[in-house]
Chain A
Amino acid sequence: EVQLVESGGGLVQPGGSLRLPCAASGFSFSYYAMSWVRQAPGKGLEWVSAISASGGSTYYSDSVKGRFTISRDNSKNTLYLQMNSLRAEDTAVYYCAKHTNSWTVIDYWGQGTLVTVSS
Chain B
Amino acid sequence: QSALTQPASVSGSPGQSITISCTGTNSDVGGYNYVSWYQQHPGKAPKLMIYDVSNRPSGVSNRFSGSKSGNTASLTISGLQAEDEADYYCSSYTSSSTWVFGGGTKLTVL
Give chain A's interface residues, CB within 8 Å of chain B.
35, 37, 44-47, 50, 59-62, 95, 100, 102-112
Chain B residues with CB under 8 A of A100: 51
Pairwise interchain contact A106-B101, C-beta atoms closer than 8 A: no
Please report the total number of B residues contacting A with Cβ < 8 Å.
26
Instruction: Tell me which residues across on chain A come within 8 A of B89, comparing CB atoms.
Output: 44-45
Q: How many A-B Cβ pairs are below 8 Å?
A: 60
Residues of chain B whose beta carbon lies under 8 Å from any beta carbon of chain A: 1, 3, 32, 34, 36, 38, 40, 44-48, 51-52, 57, 89, 91, 93, 97-104
Complex A-B: 9 CB contacts under 8 Å? A44-B102, A45-B104, A46-B101, A47-B98, A47-B101, A100-B51, A102-B52, A105-B48, A108-B48
What separation, in Å, do the CA atoms of A87 and B17 have in the docked complex? 42
Point out the residues of chain B lying under 8 angstroms from A60, CB to CB: 98
A44 touching B3 by the CB < 8 A rule? Answer: yes
A35–B97 alpha-carbon span in the complex (Å): 12
